[in-house]
Structure 1
Amino acid sequence: MKKRNVHGHLGFTLIEVMVVVAIIGIIAAIAYPSYMEYVRKSNRAEAKVVLNDVAQRLQRCFTAYSVYNDGACTVAGAISGGNTIDSEHGYYSIAGVLTPTTFVLTATAVSGTPQAGDKHCTTLSLDQAGKRDATGSNITECW
């Protein structure tokens, strides 16, 4: 509400300005965490894409060499022995545990990225049978 001061100028009182600042602060405090959760949820798609891509490449290795961990299979070397493959935007790193007849791929959020704060789905994993798994506080929504 605009009021005239003693000199006839229109303006806002300090109380009115502080009420507006408080309202904006409350809205921001509610909206920002919701927005960041939405961003993290959409970024999980990147982990799913990379996990499925690596799994398909390992299946091709199994078809060609009859084992998942053959030395001629480049993807097997890229994810075993402590090596990892990074996702396209670097939000996740993919590691694998390979045996001749099985594999388990795990996508872990990289620290320093928005995904590092994803407590609902800390890791995503996929095995040779297509079984999907996750760790975190709300794993039912991860896949």
Structure 2
Amino acid sequence: MNKEVRNYRRTKMQKEHIVETLREKGCRITKQRLMLIDIILEEECQSCKEIYYKAVKADAKIGTATVYRMVNTLEEIGAITRNSMYQIACARECEIEDACTVELDDDTIYHLSAKKWNTVVREGLKACGYMDTQNIRAVTVRQCECAGEFS
């Protein structure tokens, strides 16, 4: 199966899960909301304003308040995280192949799938005594001021 088909399936599965969760929370599923979910799933947007600019190209009637409310709603249900950009959060069963890239100082690079990344973080937290039976909801990594090096 080629990468485009995998990405389409992943995106479609994520969209279906998000829509189902929104319905469970009592949200109406409008064309504008579906369009905003598609934009967030397909693009790496840095802000609500960027999402708005992409959305207004497809629907000139969409307002900035609609975009902000939708982003807040998606954040509330845990579908997105707001760190340096809006990205759909990955659950333990997520099928994304290159969810995380780790580069070592000897130029070794590891590309971890979402499942593997989740396992690495979970096992590391368990080994350090930070968690027992809980599940990871989200991980936020911020660029540090020390040239991006981890010790």
Task: Please indicate, yes or no, whether the TM-score normalized by the shorter chain is above 0.5.
Answer: no
Bigger Rg, structure 1 or 2: 1
**Normalized per residue, which structure has more strand?**
1
- TM-score, structure 1 as length reference: 0.27
- TM-score, structure 2 as length reference: 0.26
